[in-house]
Chain A
């Protein structure tokens, strides 16, 4: 069974600073995919970034980058130059390669960006 652990219930960051949200995972599969989603107060899950287990380079999408350390089974999200609109819940998720690509989510980290 897969498991995603997010140990930070909440994080605070000042506007324009960078912040790292932690995610560790547990799987016995060699091939897997890792996702980060943002969930604002409106409730919709917004896809941010994806990392495949065989991708040699860390994924980047604009201000988002994924610090992927396979040996440590960690996939931390780095947000550079935080903006007030980044305040939201952030979820790390893993795609189940043996099933139908369902996602297993962590409990999430609440990020608050202050002016």
Chain B
């Protein structure tokens, strides 16, 4: 399809397990963002990639969170030793350009992570 896709759509993990969430941005989009959306809240920024470079990871809540985009397209958000507070919807968004321009961010459907 032409939109941003994410997999899996739902993930249930036991506390302490590692998880990997995948994002396929729109082809040709330079910018890729990860957001975390807790229940009843708005999305909160986690990290930003421009092509393969991770230029901003200021929103990652702990060193258990790691993201990569090795070839400048698909991105993976990895959470190690998951905790219950990690339960949230993880949204990926991509946009065509970079900063200093108005670029609409196109969002994927999200991955709902539940940590038991």
Interface, chain A (partner B; CB < 8 A): 4, 33, 37, 42-47, 50, 52, 91, 93, 95, 99-108
Instruction: Select one of A33, A42, A50, A106 contacting B42, CB under 8 A.
Output: A106
Interface, chain B (partner A; CB < 8 A): 31, 33, 35, 40-45, 48, 50, 55-56, 59, 89, 91, 93, 95, 98-99, 101-110, 112
CA distance A93 to B107 in the complex (A): 14
CA distance A44 to B43 in the complex (A): 11
CB distance from A110 to the nearest CB of B (A): 10
Q: Are B56 and A99 in contact (CB under 8 A)?
A: yes
Name which of B45, B50, B93 has the most chain A CB atoms within 10 A of its CB.
B45
Which chain A residue shows the least CB distance to B109? Answer: A44
CA distance A95 to B59 in the complex (A): 15
User: How many A-B contacts if CB must be within 8 Å?
Assistant: 64
Q: Are A101 and B95 in contact (CB under 8 A)?
A: yes
Which chain B residue shows the least CB distance to A52? Answer: B102
Q: Are A101 and B42 in contact (CB under 8 A)?
A: no
Instruction: Select one of B41, B91, B101, B104 contacting A47, CB under 8 A.
Output: B104
CA distance A42 to B108 in the complex (A): 11
Which chain B residue shows the least CB distance to A4? Answer: B42
Q: Are A45 and B43 in contact (CB under 8 A)?
A: yes
Chain B hits for A50, CB < 8 A: 102, 104
CB distance from A62 to the nearest CB of B (A): 16
CA distance A95 to B98 in the complex (A): 12
10 inter-chain pairs at a CB distance below 8 angstroms, sorted by A residue, are A45-B93, A45-B107, A47-B106, A100-B31, A101-B31, A102-B33, A103-B33, A103-B45, A107-B40, A108-B41
Chain B hits for A101, CB < 8 A: 31, 95, 98-99, 101, 103, 105
Q: Known interface pairs A43-B110, A45-B93, A47-B104. Does A100 touch B40 (Cβ–Cβ under 8 Å)? A: no
